[in-house]
A and B are shown apart, each in its own frame.
Chain A
Amino acid sequence: MIGLCDMRSFYCACEKVFRPDIRDSGVVVTSNNDGVVVALDDRAKAVGIKKFEPYFKQRGLIERAGVLAFSSNYELYGEVSARIMATLAELAPNGIEVYSIDECFVDFSAVPRHELKAFAAMLRDTIWRQQGITMGVSIAPTKTLAKLGQCATKLFPQIDGVCVLEHEAQWQWLAARVNVNETWGIGRKLTRKLRARGINTVADLSEVTQTDAQTLQGITLVRTVRELQGEPCIDMDCQPQPKQNIISSRSFGQKQTCLKPLQEAVSHYAVRAGIKLRAQSSLCFRLSAWLQTSAHDAKPCADELSATLPGGTADSRELSRVAVALVARLYRPGYKYAKAGVMLQDIRPEQFAQQDLLSPRSENAARLMAVVDDVNARFGSGAIKLARQGGAAGFAMKRAMKSPSYLTRWHEIPHIKLG
Chain B
Amino acid sequence: MKLVSLSPAISARVRTTVLLPLYLSRVAAGFPSPADDYLDGGLDLNEHLIAHPAATYFARAEGDSMIDLGIFTGDLLIIDRAVQAVDGDVVVVAIDGELTIKLLDLAHSRLLPANKLYRPIEISPESQVDIEGVVIHAVHHVKGVGKGVTL
- How far in angstroms is the closest Cβ of chain A from B90? 10
Chain A residues within 8 Å of B22, by CB: none
B100–A86 touching, CB < 8 Å = no
The size class of the interface chain B forms with chain A is 35 or more
**Complex Cα gap A416–B17 (Å):** 27
Residue B5, interface by CB 8 Å: yes
A407–B57 touching, CB < 8 Å = yes
CB interface residues, A 79-128, toward B, < 8 Å: 79, 82-83, 85-87, 89-90
Chain B residues within 8 Å of A83, by CB: 12, 54-55
Q: Which residue of B lies closest to A20 (CB)?
A: B94
- How far in angstroms is the closest Cβ of chain B from A28? 20
- How far in angstroms is the closest Cβ of chain B from A84? 8
Q: Which residue of A lies closest to B102 (CB)?
A: A418
A87–B98 touching, CB < 8 Å = no
- How far in angstroms is the closest Cβ of chain B from A75? 11
Known contacts: A20-B99, A86-B10, A86-B12. The answer to whether A416 contacts B57 by CB under 8 A is no
Chain B residues within 8 Å of A21, by CB: 97-98
A418–B13 touching, CB < 8 Å = no
Q: Which of B25-33, B40-48, B64-72, B140-148 contacts A (4 or more CB under 8 A)?
A: B64-72
- How far in angstroms is the closest Cβ of chain B from A27? 15
Residue A181, interface by CB 8 Å: no
Chain B residues within 8 Å of A416, by CB: 59-62, 77, 92, 99-101
Q: Which residue of A lies closest to B9 (CB)?
A: A86
Give the residue among A371, A407, A414 with the most B Cβ atoms within 10 A.
A414
Residue A377, interface by CB 8 Å: yes
CB interface residues, A 164-199, toward B, < 8 Å: none
**Complex Cα gap A374–B3 (Å):** 9
- How far in angstroms is the closest Cβ of chain B from A282? 17
CB interface residues, B 127-141, toward A, < 8 Å: 130, 132
CB interface residues, B 71-117, toward A, < 8 Å: 71, 73, 77, 81-82, 92, 94, 97-101
Q: In the complex, which of the residues B60, B66, B101, B118 contacts A413, with contact meaning CB atoms closer than 8 Å?
A: B60
Residue B23, interface by CB 8 Å: no
Residue-wise interface mask of A (16-35) relative to B, using a CB-CB cutoff of 8 A (1 in contact, 0 not)? 00101111000000000000
B132–A419 touching, CB < 8 Å = no
**Complex Cα gap A79–B52 (Å):** 15
Q: Which residue of B lies closest to A24 (CB)?
A: B97
B58–A413 touching, CB < 8 Å = yes
Q: Which residue of A lies closest to B14 (CB)?
A: A407
Residue B11, interface by CB 8 Å: yes
Residue B63, interface by CB 8 Å: yes
B54–A130 touching, CB < 8 Å = yes
Chain B residues within 8 Å of A131, by CB: 55, 81
| CB<8 Å pairs between A and B, sample of 8 | A20-B98, A87-B55, A131-B55, A374-B5, A377-B5, A413-B60, A416-B92, A416-B99
Q: A129-B82, A130-B81, A418-B101 are known contacts; what are 17 more A-B pairs with Cβ within 8 Å?
A: A20-B130, A21-B97, A23-B97, A82-B13, A83-B54, A86-B53, A90-B54, A130-B82, A131-B55, A131-B81, A408-B13, A410-B58, A416-B62, A418-B61, A418-B63, A418-B66, A419-B65
**Which residues of chain B have a CB within 8 Å of any CB of chain A?**
3, 5, 7, 10-13, 15, 17, 52-55, 57-66, 71, 73, 77, 81-82, 92, 94, 97-101, 118, 130, 132
**Which residues of chain A have a CB within 8 Å of any CB of chain B?**
18, 20-23, 79, 82-83, 85-87, 89-90, 129-132, 371, 374, 377-378, 406-408, 410, 413-419
